[in-house]
């Protein structure tokens, strides 16, 4: 009524507010050697300035916003809610730059967080919910433990068979091959990440073969009376091509993984690359570095008192020789036995679970909650609160972070957060420690409990390796008739529900959004 009295339209009021609340560039000003940009500051600084905004000035009459409208502060509609262990929270995430060292980033963040925590109120606490540096540290520690175990076991075996000098040579080749492989993969722009670390662990079991074969053969020639230089040359040349062919055939087995395309190939390519680089480095060292060291440091030394060499020699001269003679005398039986063993192993293959990418094996879970389309945020929040009550009773759970109306912040490379939606929520669950049996028992219990909560589709998901995918199996039905598509999707969903071993079945056409259409009677509305 007041706007009609002053003959004002809504567009005039909005335009006046937009014109008054803006910063305008005012050119520049040169002072000495410096040039300063000038800006006319016009943003509102208080609610009183908004009230006094002139929306009309004509014929000596000034109309301000407070003359035609009531101006006050209020709350924005809640579109999102976040909690940590049931308490209200705000989640802040930090992502490192490409090529940055995650441990250096972590140390810098720790310093800043320490300064920030001293400035906070006593009513606010700061908690670190997720730390990628801990995961990287665990993977690196696992790799170094495997490396140390491999060095000790290989060194011990070679020492008891050939001697301490040969053992030292073989042990030195392992870290050198790994360093060359890491250097070459770094030149490709990959660096140390989870797939390259997995590739290094795979290569650990294979790269030592070349050095062992060359070193033991050189040692054998020395035992036969050859001089050290002659023994190194003859021992290496005798088996050189065999070592080359065996290494190349192993590398060729990884070539198909290098040539994979799409996101899957991009994700795993660094693993076969570093395995190939490391094996080729071990081949190069076996044919150059190992013979050189052998000619310098190995000689026909007396074997240690507890050496396994005499025992192995007796086994080869007696049992193995007799077994080999019988096998050569009956070649058909040997081939049939090998084929029978192969067929038996193939028969056991269906009993083994098959998965292209393994589980992440982390003490973490993600719970996805999806309510029917059209569900309010308050109802979704009520269901999440019910789930939180169940999680709070679990002693093995360290903490849980809930996001209602929005996906969790990105904490795993192949889990993409969802945008704001009142029907969606996520709960990130961190366990105190990782133990396979206890972990999968907890997952089974939670899935059983979540099925008892009505009004939502609740998925308890483990983190997995590999590129981001919604599910391992997806069925697409194409057509232009929505009713037919909905009927067919329901039939496919029923088939999946009756198939053993399936879970988290999602049919986006199972529920339809409910809309209310309001028809306005223009005569009665005036």
pLDDT for 511: 66
Altogether, the residues listed in the chain come to a count of 526
pTM of the shown model: 0.68
Top-level class of domain 2-68: alpha beta
Rounded-to-integer distance, Cα 325 and Cα 470, Å: 57
Rounded-to-integer distance, Cα 132 and Cα 128, Å: 11
pLDDT for 514: 60
Closest CA to 272 of 174, 338, 181, 356: 181
CATH topology identical between 134-316 and 364-465: no
Query: Thinking of the domain 134-316, which architecture would CATH place it in?
Result: Up-down Bundle (1.20)
pLDDT for 259: 87
Secondary structure letter of residue 464 according to DSSP: B
Rounded mean pLDDT for each run of 10 residues along the chain, 526 residues in total:
77 86 78 80 83 82 86 82 92 82 88 87 86 84 86 84 83 91 88 82 85 88 86 90 92 89 79 93 92 83 64 80 89 92 86 73 90 88 94 92 88 77 91 90 93 90 78 85 87 89 80 69 67
Is 302 in a helix, a strand, or coil?
Answer: coil
The domain 364-465 is placed in CATH, from the list 3.30.920.30, 3.30.70.1430, 3.30.930.10, 3.40.50.300, at: 3.30.70.1430
Closest CA to 181 of 247, 317, 313, 278: 278
Phi and psi at residue 399, to the nearest 5°:
-160, 165
Domain borders along the chain are 2-68, 134-316, 364-465, 473-526
């Amino acid at each position: 009524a007041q706007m009609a009295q002053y003959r004002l339209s809504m567009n005039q009021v909005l335009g006046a507010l937009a014109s008054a609340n803006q910063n305008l560039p005012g050119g520049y000003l040169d002072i000495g050697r410096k040039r300063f940009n000038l800006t006319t500051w016009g943003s509102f600084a208080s609610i009183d300035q908004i009230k006094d905004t002139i929306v009309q000035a004509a014929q000596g009459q000034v109309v301000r916003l407070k003359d035609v409208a009531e101006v006050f502060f209020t709350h924005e509609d809640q579109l999102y809610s976040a909690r940590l262990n049931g308490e209200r929270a705000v989640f802040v995430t930090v992502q490192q730059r490409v090529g940055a060292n995650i441990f250096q980033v972590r140390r810098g963040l720790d310093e800043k967080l320490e300064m920030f925590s001293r400035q906070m109120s006593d009513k606010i606490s700061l908690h670190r919910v997720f730390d990628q540096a801990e995961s990287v540290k665990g993977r690196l520690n696992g790799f170094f433990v495997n490396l140390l175990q491999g060095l000790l076991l290989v060194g011990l075996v070679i020492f008891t068979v050939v001697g301490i000098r040969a053992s030292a040579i073989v042990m030195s080749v392992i870290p050198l091959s790994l360093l060359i492989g890491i250097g070459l993969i770094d030149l490709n722009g990959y660096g140390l990440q989870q797939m390259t670390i997995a590739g290094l662990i795979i290569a650990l079991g294979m790269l030592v073969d070349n050095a062992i074969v060359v070193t033991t053969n050189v040692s054998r020639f020395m035992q036969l009376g050859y001089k050290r230089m002659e023994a190194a040359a003859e021992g290496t040349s005798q088996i050189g091509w065999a070592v080359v062919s065996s290494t190349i055939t192993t590398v060729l087995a990884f070539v198909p993984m290098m040539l994979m395309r799409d996101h899957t190939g991009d994700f795993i390519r660094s693993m076969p690359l570093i395995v190939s680089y490391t094996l080729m480095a071990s081949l190069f060292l076996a044919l150059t570095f190992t013979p050189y060291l052998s000619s310098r440091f190995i000689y026909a030394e007396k074997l240690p008192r507890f050496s396994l060499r005499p025992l192995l020699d007796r086994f080869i001269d007696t049992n193995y020789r007799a077994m080999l003679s019988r096998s050569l005398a009956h070649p058909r039986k040997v081939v049939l036995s090998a084929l029978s063993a192969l067929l038996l192993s193939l028969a056991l293959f269906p009993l083994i679970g098959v998965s292209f990418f393994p589980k992440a094996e982390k003490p973490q879970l993600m719970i996805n909650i999806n309510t029917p389309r059209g569900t309010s945020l308050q109802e979704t929040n009520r269901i999440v609160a019910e789930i939180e009550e169940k999680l709070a009773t679990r002693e093995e759970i360290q903490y849980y972070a809930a996001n209602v109306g929005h996906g969790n912040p990105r904490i795993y490379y192949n889990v993409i957060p969802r945008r704001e939606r009142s029907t969606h929520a996520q709960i990130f669950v961190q366990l105190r420690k990782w133990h396979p049996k206890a972990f999968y028992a907890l997952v089974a219990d939670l899935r059983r409990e979540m099925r008892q909560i009505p009004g939502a589709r609740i998925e308890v998901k483990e983190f997995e390796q590999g590129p981001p995918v919604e599910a391992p199996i997806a069925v697409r039905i194409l057509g232009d008739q929505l009713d037919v598509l909905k009927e067919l999707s329901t039939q496919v969903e029923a088939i999946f529900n009756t198939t053993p071993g399936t879970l988290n079945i999602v049919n986006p056409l199972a529920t339809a959004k409910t809309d209310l259409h309001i028809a306005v009677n223009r005569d009665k509305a005036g």
